[in-house]
């Protein structure tokens, strides 16, 4: 089993790391980032499928709850009806499960290529492809990063484990699809807290280079999310899920403000005047005016 795992994953990653290291100016960090990008692009179709499957499962929640309530005393019938509905809780788990063997293979590839012990240096020769003679000239590989990190040893300053925890939490929070089911929401919240802590604890005793890989994988995963967002939005619409509304931009807000400012205000309503009262006032004024004129006339002789 170990030889198959080496043949399929560890040896290809080991040789790819060394080739990228030589091609990128003998920068081991850039080699890790480049290999991370290649791996994420390779599993991108599976990642999109996982997201769409998760949306499909979320859209099925009302029907699933109705079936569970209807057949709560008949588990066999419930299982049959859920299969007819197309419910498969493991349909979107392949990309997530694939991450763990890749992580283990990357760990072994980093330990072999950096050759932190003389035994690792001796073993490296048996894992390098014979048709790549230029790789031998790259050994030993420079493992120092920024003058303080030895990528082949655990980070003694705990900076990389902390970055692993933060980046994993942010990536999981962004990439986890929303759910209306309270049980699913509670499970997602627990995983969003437990997984970052688990990986951070794991990075305390593993080479710092593996932490660089995991941080780069989280960043690339977030970038992939925004690139594939139109595809995921169409899938949400297809399955009857609401698409998150984009926040209003500053330019849109300023345009709305200018439009409202340039629109003339409506004139105030004219006060209602009582016609009868106005006529009465005018008649009284006319009578007073005639009386004054009559008084001012000279008496007749």
d(CA 69, CA 162): 44
What average pLDDT does the structure give for the chain?
A: 79
For residue 193, is it within any domain?
A: yes
pLDDT at 58: 73
pLDDT at 56: 77
pLDDT at 212: 96
d(CA 17, CA 108): 12
Q: 60 near 91, Cβ under 8 Å?
A: no
Domain count, the chain: 1
Give the up-direction half-sphere exposure of residue 82: CA atoms within 13 A in the CB hemisphere: 22
For residue 55, is it within any domain?
A: yes
Provide the β-strand partners of residue 144. 150
Question: Which backbone phi and psi does 88 adopt, to 5 degrees?
Answer: -145, 100
For residue 144, is it within any domain?
A: yes
- Angle in degrees, CA 211, 222, 46, rounded to 5: 95
Orientation of helix 75-85 relative to helix 61-70, angle to 10°: 160
Q: 179 near 58, Cβ under 8 Å?
A: yes
pLDDT at 149: 93
Q: What's the domain range around 224?
A: 2-238
pLDDT at residue 209 greater than cutoff 90? yes
For residue 179, is it within any domain?
A: yes
* DSSP reduced 3-state for 92: coil
Containing 180, the helix (H) or strand (E) segment is: none
Question: Which backbone phi and psi does 149 adopt, to 5 degrees?
Answer: -105, 135
Q: What is the tens place of the pLDDT at every residue in 163-189?
A: 999 999 999 888 776 666 677 778 878
Question: Which backbone phi and psi does 145 adopt, to 5 degrees?
Answer: -130, 125
Q: What is the tens place of the pLDDT at every residue in 245-287?
A: 444 433 344 344 444 444 444 444 554 444 444 444 455 556 5
For residue 292, is it within any domain?
A: no
pLDDT at 75: 85
pLDDT at 185: 78
For residue 138, is it within any domain?
A: yes
For residue 234, is it within any domain?
A: yes
For residue 261, is it within any domain?
A: no
> For 16-25, 209-218, 292-301, which range has the lowest pLDDT when averaged over its residues?
292-301
């Amino acid at each position: 089993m170990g030889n198959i795992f080496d043949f399929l994953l560890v040896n290809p990653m080991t040789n790819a790391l060394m080739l990228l290291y030589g091609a990128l100016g003998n920068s081991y960090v850039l080699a890790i980032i480049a290999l991370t990008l290649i791996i994420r692009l390779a599993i991108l179709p599976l990642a999109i499928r996982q997201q769409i499957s998760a949306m499909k499962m979320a859209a099925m929640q009302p029907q699933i709850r109705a079936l569970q309530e209807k057949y709560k005393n008949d588990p066999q019938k419930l299982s049959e009806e859920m299969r007819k509905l197309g419910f498969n809780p493991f349909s979107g788990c392949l990309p997530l499960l694939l991450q763990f063997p890749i992580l283990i293979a990357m760990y072994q590839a980093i330990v072999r290529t950096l050759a932190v012990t003389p035994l690792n240096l001796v073993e490296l020769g048996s894992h390098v492809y014979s048709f790549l003679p230029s790789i031998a000239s790259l050994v030993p590989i420079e493992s120092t990063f920024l003058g303080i990190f030895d990528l082949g040893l655990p980070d003694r300053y705990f900076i990389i484990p902390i970055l692993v925890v933060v980046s994993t939490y942010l990536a999981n929070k962004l990439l986890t699809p929303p759910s209306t089911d309270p049980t699913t929401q509670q499970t997602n919240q627990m995983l969003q807290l437990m997984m970052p802590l688990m990986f951070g604890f794991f990075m305390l005793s593993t080479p710092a280079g593996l932490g660089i890989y995991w941080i780069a994988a989280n960043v690339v995963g977030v970038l992939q999310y925004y690139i594939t967002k139109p595809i995921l939005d169409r899938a949400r619409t297809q399955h009857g899920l609401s698409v998150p509304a984009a926040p209003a931009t500053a330019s849109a807000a300023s345009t709305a403000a200018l439009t409202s400012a340039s629109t003339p205000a409506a004139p105030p309503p004219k006060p209602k005047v009582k016609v009868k009262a106005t006529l009465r006032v005018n008649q009284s004024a006319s009578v007073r005016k005639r009386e004054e004129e009559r008084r001012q006339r000279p008496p007749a002789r």
